[in-house]
Structure 1
Amino acid sequence: MARKNREQPEMPLAPAAKPKDKMPKIYAQAEEKSEICAFLSHLYVQLYQNFA
């Protein structure tokens, strides 16, 4: 196990990403997934009604 060099300060944490940079992409991905799920759910209902 490597010994920690006590003279060297620890690396600071990376600056947090600005919410305005990340949020639109996250929302777009969530909206796309939601639309896909709604479409698949619609297909499932159609198949169920056809075979029931």
Structure 2
Amino acid sequence: MTMRNLALLLLYCLVVVPAGIVASLGRDPLRRGIDRTAATYWTDAGGARRSRRT
């Protein structure tokens, strides 16, 4: 293993991984929570229209 590879490994393990863990702790960007009262989990696309091909 070269010195460059070792430095990149340390950078990844000491900076990138903890930053990702901290970023994911406080929020759920995919809103994966279970809502037992919901009839469906589908959401409206917000104005998306189907295009008609001729």
Task: Answer yes or no: same fold by TM over 0.5.
Answer: no
Larger Rg: 1
In which range does the TM-score fall when normalised by the shorter chain?
A: 0.3 to 0.5
* Structure 1 or 2: more helix by fraction: 1
TM-score, L = length of structure 2: 0.37
